[in-house]
Amino acid sequence: MNPLRSLILAAARNGTIRRLVATAPVSRDVVRRFVAGETTADAVAVTRRLVQDGLTVTLDYLGEDTTDTAQAERTVQAYLDLLDRLHAEGLADHAEVSVKLSAVGQMLDEDLALANAKRICQAAEAAGTTVTLDMEDHTTTDSTLRVLAELRRTWPWVGAVLQTYLHRTLDDAKRLSAEGSRVRLCKGAYKEPETVAFADKTEVDKSYVRCVNALLAGDGYPMFATHDPRLVRIVDERAEAHGRKPGSFEHQMLYGIRPDEQLRLAQQGHTVRVYVPFGEEWYGYLMRRMAERPANTTFFLRALATRG
């Protein structure tokens, strides 16, 4: 792993650094570039702005690795509140939610996570929108796909996420490419052992392209989540080769990353969905974004230095 990436991920686990960053006033501004804010109102305001710009949205309430039921319950309530607000504000047509099963109790008990995810799916159905289950580290993949299969028995629109750094993913992509199946394809954001994942970036990219073809060849609705300009181009070329019309697949990017490219793709007639995180637990998310791209870290440190 890149040494800077390891350093930042280590900082993410360091309590002192965490407190320093979380309480520095300037953090607010920097965090706001990648995170909508701490409250539901912040999330709704950012969603409205993005929708006005012709984009669609998936909202993630930040909070993961929950190890107590009370915290899992707070997360469920945050989603129920958010879905209510999206419906009330007329935004549910353009905004769905992304849920991490670890935030609703997967580490405590898979059945608890399933029961909590069902409550969120029910609320999404009532609001007139959909849910995508984020994918976390490889030890949770089978459990998450089991929960997905169970949820899809009632709500076939529940979206899956597949990570192309995992050796297993092409098989999963073929299995999940049937009609109506919503699948987000991403490279993968966790530190994984070589026994299960490609270590080499080029291999991860090649795996991405193989999965693009598998998903486009099927009858499902693929959602291509990447900021990588080369892969965005390949997705569009392959979509055309497979006879896919705009609207039968979508591009996805993270809030604050390549915003001009998001608008450009939308102006070309593509569906573009922006992944918008919000909530008080923004620290771990922010550190993962920093670790992915040194330029983001430079931006952060420069902002701290100029205000210091």
Ligand X SMILES: Cc1cc2nc3c(=O)[nH]c(=O)nc-3n(C[C@H](O)[C@H](O)[C@H](O)COP(=O)(O)OP(=O)(O)OC[C@H]3O[C@@H](n4cnc5c(N)ncnc54)[C@H](O)[C@@H]3O)c2cc1C
Which 3 state secondary structure label does DSSP give 118?
Answer: helix
Residue nearer to ligand X on the CB measure, 69 or 189 = 189
* Residue 138 lies near ligand X (rule: CB under 6 A): no
Q: Are 218 and 238 in contact (CB under 8 A)?
A: no
CB of 172: closest distance to ligand X in angstroms? 13
Strand ranges for the chain from DSSP E = 56-61, 95-99, 131-133, 160-163, 182-186, 221-225, 250-254, 271-278
Burial 226-239 (b: 16+ CB within 10 A, else e): bbeeebbebbbebb
CB of 23: closest distance to ligand X in angstroms? 25
Name, in order, each residue with C-beta under 8 angstroms of 112's C-beta and a sequence gap of 6 or more.
Answer: 69, 72, 104, 105, 106
Catalytic residues: 134, 184
* Residue 228 lies near ligand X (rule: CB under 6 A): yes
- Of 169, 113, 120, 116, give the one whose Cα is nearest residue 143: 113
Residue 233 vs residues 153, 207, 225, 237, 268: alpha-carbon distances, Å: 35, 16, 13, 6, 13
Q: Mask: binding to ligand X, 154-183, rule CB under 6 A, as x and -?
A: -------x-x--------------------
* Residue 135 lies near ligand X (rule: CB under 6 A): yes
Residue nearer to ligand X on the CB measure, 88 or 149 = 149
Cα–Cα distance, 284 to 199 (Å, whole number): 23
Q: Which of residues 283-302 bind ligand X (CB under 6 A)?
A: 292-293, 296
CB of 16: closest distance to ligand X in angstroms? 26
Q: Which of residues 57-96 bind ligand X (CB under 6 A)?
A: none
Residue nearer to ligand X on the CB measure, 135 or 286 = 135
Q: Mask: binding to ligand X, 23-52, rule CB under 6 A, as x and -?
A: ------------------------------
Which 3 state secondary structure label does DSSP give 191?
Answer: coil
Q: Are 205 and 196 in contact (CB under 8 A)?
A: no
Residue 244, by phi and psi: left (phi above 0), alpha (psi -120 to 50) or beta? beta
- Radius of gyration from C-alpha coordinates of the chain: 19
Among 249, 275, 278, 282, binds ligand X (CB under 6 A): 275
Residue nearer to ligand X on the CB measure, 37 or 188 = 188
Residue nearer to ligand X on the CB measure, 227 or 242 = 227
Q: Mask: binding to ligand X, 234-273, rule CB under 6 A, as x and -?
A: ------------------xxx--xx---------------
Residue nearer to ligand X on the CB measure, 40 or 102 = 102
Binding site for ligand X (CB under 6 A): 134-135, 161, 163, 184, 186-190, 225-229, 252-254, 257-258, 275, 292-293, 296
